[in-house]
Chain A
Amino acid sequence: MTSSATAEIDRVLYGRGERLAIAAGGLLMLGILAASLLIAQRTSRDAADAIAARTLRTATIQMMDSLLSAETGQRGYLLTGRREYLAPYTKAVSRVPVLMETLDRRIGGQPDMIGWRNVINDKMAELAETVRLEEGGRHAEAMAIVQADRGRHDMEIARAISDRLGAAESSAILGDIVRSEAGARLQFGVDAGASAVLILLAVFVGRGFSRTVGALSLGRAELIGANAALQAGRDRLEAAVAERTADLTLANEEVQRFAYIVSHDLRAPLLNIIGFTAELANATDRLNRFVTNNLEPAGITVPLEVREASQEDLPEAIRFIQTSTAKMDRLITAILRLSREGRRVLLPERVDMAVLLGNIADSVHQIAEKAGAAIAIGDTPALISDRLAVEQVFSNLIENALKYLQPARPGQVRIAGALEGDWVRYSVADNGRGIASRDLDRIFELFRRAGPQDTVGEGIGLAHVKALLRRLGGTVVCESTPGAGSTFIVKLPTVLAHSGEVTQ
């Protein structure tokens, strides 16, 4: 994927609107969180206040309740003289100081509370005194205190203060409740707002997302369409290639047949020329023998013109004809061989190059020795190919290397190989006379040669090598420094595809 395509996808995935929305959403969430925390703190404070107010209210009510209980117990005791009536009083006596302490802690500084405490203490003191007098059997004295209305008066004041305190406390509780409710409402509002914002954000981003998903699925659909189009194009291309290949194969087969027929049919008249030239030579011999054996011993003078004709002109002409026909025969044979080679079915098999090259070196041993040359075979990886074709390639290259040596120095032919991915690269290097750069392509053409024509050859070998390598799916190139030597580099697939029917 290209970087521009990546950028495009980024753009689609995260539009500017979505980016802003997500940033704003983040900020909002932070704000909501902070507000929530503040509200929660306040609410919890309000709640604590409310609890405190309730505790105070409870304490106030219990205080009044305890006072009444104490009075009830005292009255019962005084009326009956029986101690069991005193139980509410005793209980209240132990509870009042505890309640008082609670109240003092809460509202100890308030004027009502100061007054309330005094009146309660006084009431409790009056009750304690009457109970003590009663216990001491002084019933009348106790009753006198009760009837003095001190206690009743105290109770009235205490009740009045209690009512006032109660009202204040209730309103405090109410306020707390109201505040608490307001806090809760605020909390709810904030939460609701946050939820709304979140929902809006989700909707917004979701819409963006769905747009993105839509764009993506649209892109995917487009991609599928493009792929289908690509596939269709590829199919068309493959069909075209197959068609072209079939055409080429046909054309190739035609060229093969053509070469075969031409060489065959060229050969028929050539054979007549060769045969009748032999007849001519034969006849000339007989003529000359007759002159030498019969006429001259008989003293018959053969005119110089006739002698020249039979002994020089005819043999010379015949020689030229024979040289030319011999060459023509070789050329036609070469074309025939090439066309036949082109039709041969290749048989891929494992070829141990070290063994194959060793055999070639052995077969050219005498030629090498005569040329004073050494053949060195280095590391040469094996491959799977057509043995015969590979052998012909390297035979030709090695024979060439030995053929075009520099007489001035001992010949060196070095063969090496190395794996290059799915290929094997072989090199056949010599220190021979080299090839001019302008001839590097020409030498692979049929019947073309380079450099001084001082060796026998028709210019077939390298054309054959090239044709063979083309069939083997390989290549050959030549690197050369004139006067220093040439290196032929052959590249072959490590595994030759099994394509028996292909003709080239």
Chain B
Amino acid sequence: MNAVPVTILLIEDDPGHARLIEKNVRRAGVANQITHKLDGTTALEHLFGRGEHSKSDPLLVLLDLNLPDMSGTDILARIKADPLLRRTPVVVLTTTDDRTEIQRCYDLGCNVYITKPVEYEGFASAIRQLGLFLTVMQVPEQD
């Protein structure tokens, strides 16, 4: 594996969910840096604002749809409309398996849609698969 670092941006308002996701991502052997944003506004600032994130850096977005200040689909649309960010893989995490919502996310360009509670095996494999397209830094299996 080569070592171009991909940053994972986790946009999730529920700290418990964020912690669980982080734990499972780590457990899947993914050691990349995880940046956690608790709402849409700060997430958009991070993505499109000055400073923090350089648009050229490779990025993976884990996006919760139910955010207190906006719908995750708005963020998804913004990412997919941006010429530099539109290739960024987005994993949508949500509590609902509403078919129309899932369809809408795929239409907007989401790469993977995962229903919570995450079946951890599936979640980890989804992350790993995405890692095949990106350069995801893997840490050696610990066990």
Q: Is A bound to B?
A: yes
Which residue of A264, A272, A279, A329 contacts B66 across the interface (Cβ within 8 Å)?
Answer: A264
- Of the candidates A268, A269, A276, the one having the most CB atoms from chain B within 10 angstroms of its own CB is A268
Chain B 97-126 residues near chain A, CB threshold 8 A: 98, 116-118, 120
B96 touches A271 (CB 8 A): no
Chain A 246-291 residues near chain B, CB threshold 8 A: 264, 267-269, 271-272, 274-276, 278-279
A153 CB–B CB distance under 8 Å: no
Chain A 66-115 residues near chain B, CB threshold 8 A: none
Which residue of A267, A269, A276, A336 contacts B20 across the interface (Cβ within 8 Å)?
Answer: A276
B95 touches A267 (CB 8 A): yes
The A interface is mostly helix, strand or loop, or mixed, namely helix
Which residue of B20, B66, B96 contacts A275 across the interface (Cβ within 8 Å)?
Answer: B20
Interface string of B69-109 (1 = CB under 8 A from A): 00000000000000000000000000110100000000000
Note all chain B residues with C-beta closer than 8 A to A267: 95, 116
B17 CB–A CB distance under 8 Å: yes
- Nearest B residue to A275 via CB reads B20
Interface string of A302-333 (1 = CB under 8 A from B): 00000000000000000000000000010000
Note all chain B residues with C-beta closer than 8 A to A276: 16, 20
- Nearest B residue to A278 via CB reads B120
Inter-chain CA distance A67–B71, complex, in Å, is 148
A236 CB–B CB distance under 8 Å: no
- Nearest A residue to B13 via CB reads A268
Inter-chain CA distance A217–B96, complex, in Å, is 70
A271 touches B116 (CB 8 A): yes
Number of A interface residues in the complex (CB < 8 A): 14
A272 touches B17 (CB 8 A): yes
Note all chain A residues with C-beta closer than 8 A to B95: 264, 267-268, 271
A336 touches B96 (CB 8 A): yes
- Nearest B residue to A261 via CB reads B66
A272 touches B16 (CB 8 A): yes
Chain B 14-38 residues near chain A, CB threshold 8 A: 14, 16-17, 20, 23
Inter-chain CA distance A271–B96, complex, in Å, is 12
- Nearest B residue to A265 via CB reads B66
A272 touches B20 (CB 8 A): yes
- Nearest A residue to B16 via CB reads A272
* Shortest Cβ distance from residue A196 to the other chain B in the assembled complex, whole angstroms: 93
Which residue of B14, B66, B98, B118 contacts A340 across the interface (Cβ within 8 Å)?
Answer: B98
* Shortest Cβ distance from residue A59 to the other chain B in the assembled complex, whole angstroms: 127
Note all chain A residues with C-beta closer than 8 A to B66: 264, 268
Note all chain A residues with C-beta closer than 8 A to B98: 340
Note all chain A residues with C-beta closer than 8 A to B118: 275
Note all chain B residues with C-beta closer than 8 A to A274: 117
Note all chain A residues with C-beta closer than 8 A to B117: 271, 274-275, 329
Note all chain A residues with C-beta closer than 8 A to B14: 268, 271-272
- Nearest B residue to A333 via CB reads B97
Interface string of A331-351 (1 = CB under 8 A from B): 000001000100000000000
Interface string of A147-179 (1 = CB under 8 A from B): 000000000000000000000000000000000
Note all chain B residues with C-beta closer than 8 A to A275: 16-17, 20, 117-118
Interface of A with B (CB < 8 Å)?
264, 267-269, 271-272, 274-276, 278-279, 329, 336, 340
Further 4 A-B residue pairs, CB within 8 A, beyond A272-B20, A275-B117: A275-B17, A275-B20, A278-B120, A340-B98
A-B contact pairs, 20 of them (CB 8 A): A264-B66, A264-B95, A264-B96, A268-B14, A268-B17, A268-B66, A268-B95, A269-B16, A271-B14, A271-B20, A271-B95, A272-B14, A272-B16, A272-B17, A272-B20, A274-B117, A275-B118, A276-B16, A279-B20, A279-B23
Interface of B with A (CB < 8 Å)?
14, 16-17, 20, 23, 66, 95-96, 98, 116-118, 120
